[in-house]
């Protein structure tokens, strides 16, 4: 769970819990996960403990978490998990189907590379892209949304027009155009390009929350007590936006992985030899008879996205302050 950190990184502090618990705010969602780590230690009985219970009892979410830990874990420790390197080839074993012999669980491709290893290395690339895009675009969206919602004015206007613009454009086509001209098949360039297009949605959400919260009594109280704009924005209002940010950030990982895969599949994203899941599916297209070349990397994408969506749903349910009841 990396999502709480964007806020912390961007503003150099962790929103303290007490602030929300002291009852002025009807206690959103938000801070809940800011304290995923911190909250446990301080032992606050707050919205967070409700949320944690709700999340832990959300069966699908726990299932998703387990699956994601397994899959992403395999990606992170690819060099230990994968039986072969992603580029080592064995021309005596070309296009053999899935078999346990020689640990070719997912078969081999047209130049005899072990497909299981390639998929595992592909997971690593895809998860790096997904997590980085979600993380960076959350920070960017958070900062822009906060300023737009709090100050209004030209920055708000610019943001809204910009998001309108993004909504009228065919997103995949624009991404394909940009990455075909600038991406050059590099993983980090693609990450950067995706980030540039992913932050607007979150900025809009954060803006909405800021817009409604800046008129609240507790903000007025903070103002009366002499708090500056920065303090109000990032210590008083920000914790209340963390809920949507976390949910959005989680789902953005899945969206980024799918988008990267689609771009790579079309040939405008990451290019071979770097194995990403989209690259692998695209490679499988040339050998439709060898179904394993298409099925396994694609299935991995589906599983990752499914797990993330379950987790996201679980978080949304858990962080929704209007929902007090603990799920059975």
Residues that bind another protein (CB under 8 A): 161, 164-165, 167-174, 176-178, 180-182, 254, 258, 261-262, 265-268, 278, 281, 284-285, 288-289, 291, 294-295, 298, 301-303, 305-306, 309
The nearer residue to another protein, 232 or 280, going by C-beta atoms, is 280
210-236 burial by CB neighbour count: b if 16+ within 10 A, else e?
beebbebebbeebeeeeeeeeebbbbb
Least distance from C-beta 281 to another protein, angstroms?
Answer: 6
- Indicate the residue among 35 and 179 with the shorter CB distance to another protein: 179
Distance (Å, rounded) from C-alpha 225 to C-alpha 102? 70
Smallest gap from residue 282 Cβ to another protein (A): 8
- Please measure the distance between the N-terminal and C-terminal CA atoms of the chain and give it in whole angstroms: 24
Least distance to another protein, CB of residue 127, Å: 15
* Alpha-carbon dihedral angle through residues 307, 309, 312, 314, given to the nearest 10 degrees: -70
- Least Å from the CB of residue 40 to another protein: 31
Measured between alpha carbons, how far is 156 from 36 in angstroms, rounded to an integer?
31
For another protein, the closer CB: 87 or 285: 285
Give the nearer residue to another protein in terms of CB position, either 20 or 108: 108
> In this complex, which beta carbon is closest to another protein, that of residue 40 or of residue 182?
182
Pick the closer one to another protein by CB: 131 or 280: 280
Q: Which is nearer to another protein, 102 or 267 (CB)?
A: 267
Chain centroid offset of residue 53 CA: 23
Identify the burial level of 321 via C-beta atoms within 10 angstroms of its C-beta, where 0-12 means exposed, 13-18 middle and 19 or more buried: middle
Token pair 């491709």 is found at 109
Cα–Cα distance, 291 to 297 (Å, whole number): 11
Smallest separation, CB 243 to another protein (Å): 19
Least separation in angstroms between CB 181 and another protein: 4
Least distance to another protein, CB of residue 279, Å? 12
- 89, β-bridge pairs: 113
Whether residue 248 contacts residue 205, with contact meaning beta carbons closer than 8 Å, is answered with yes
């Amino acid at each position: 769970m990396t999502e709480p950190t964007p806020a912390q990184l961007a503003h150099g502090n962790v929103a303290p819990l007490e602030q929300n618990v002291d009852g002025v705010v009807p206690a959103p969602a938000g801070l809940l996960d800011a304290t995923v780590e911190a909250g446990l230690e301080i032992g606050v009985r707050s919205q967070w403990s409700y949320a944690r219970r709700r999340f832990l009892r959300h069966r699908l979410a726990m299932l998703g978490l387990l699956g994601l830990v397994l899959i992403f874990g395999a990606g992170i420790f690819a060099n230990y998990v994968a039986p072969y390197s992603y580029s080592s080839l064995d021309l005596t074993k070309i296009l053999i189907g899935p078999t346990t012999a020689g640990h070719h669980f997912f078969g081999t491709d047209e130049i005899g590379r072990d497909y299981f290893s390639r998929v595992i290395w592909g997971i690593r690339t895809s998860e790096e892209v997904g997590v980085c895009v979600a993380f960076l675009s959350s920070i960017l969206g958070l900062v822009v949304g906060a300023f737009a919602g709090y100050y209004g004015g030209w920055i708000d206007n610019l943001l809204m027009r910009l998001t309108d613009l993004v909504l009228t454009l065919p997103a995949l086509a624009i991404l394909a155009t940009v990455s075909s001209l600038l991406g050059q098949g590099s993983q980090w360039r693609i990450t950067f390009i995706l980030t540039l297009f992913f932050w607007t949605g979150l900025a809009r959400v954060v803006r909405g929350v800021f817009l409604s919260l800046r008129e609240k009594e507790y903000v007025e109280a903070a103002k009366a007590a002499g708090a500056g704009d920065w303090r109000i924005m990032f210590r008083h209002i920000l914790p209340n936006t963390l809920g949507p940010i976390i949910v959005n950030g989680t789902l953005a990982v899945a969206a980024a992985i799918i988008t990267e895969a689609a771009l790579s599949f079309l040939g405008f994203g990451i290019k071979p030899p770097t194995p990403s899941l989209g690259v692998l599916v695209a490679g499988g297209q040339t050998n439709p008879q060898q179904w394993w070349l298409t099925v396994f990397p694609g299935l991995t994408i589906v599983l990752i996205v499914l797990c993330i969506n379950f987790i996201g749903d679980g978080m949304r349910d858990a962080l929704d302050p209007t929902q007090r009841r603990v799920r059975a």
